């Protein structure tokens, strides 16, 4: 029999691929490159805009970013309104 009793009671903690900082950094930089590429692609197609503001370079990317930030800020405020005590379901 190999190992001792303490190893059987406490098996080694399993590590996942995102536990390594190097892999998280790779995902971050890959996402940044894809976003920059999509933003730059805005230069290479013909826009058929209904409004003049839609013809601005990077309009939809900036609009999406601002909308996302707005949603996060609204959600933070909405949390204050909807929060329940920790033991709410235990009552």
Q: Is 0.85 surpassed by the pTM of this model?
A: no
Would you state the structure tokens that stand for residue 40, as one six-digit string?
């730059």
- Domain boundary assignment for the chain: 5-84
For 27-50, write each residue's pLDDT tens digit.
999 999 999 999 899 999 888 999
Ranges of the chain with pLDDT below 70: 1-8
DSSP structural state of residue 35: H
Q: Distance (Å, rounded) from C-alpha 37 to C-alpha 67?
A: 20
- Residues 4, 11: Cα–Cα separation, whole Å: 11
Look at residue 12 in the predicted model and tell me its pLDDT: 82
CA distance 15 to 17: 7
Residue 63's pLDDT is 94
């Amino acid at each position: 029999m190999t190992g001792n009793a303490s190893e059987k009671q406490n098996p080694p903690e399993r590590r996942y691929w995102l536990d390594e900082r190097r892999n998280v950094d790779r995902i971050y930089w890959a996402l940044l490159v894809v976003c920059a590429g999509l933003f730059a692609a805005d230069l290479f197609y013909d826009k058929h805009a209904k409004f003049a503001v839609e013809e601005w370079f990077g309009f939809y990317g900036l609009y999406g970013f601002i909308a996302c930030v707005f949603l996060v800020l609204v959600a933070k405020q909405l949390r204050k309104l909807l929060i329940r005590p920790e033991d709410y379901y235990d009552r």
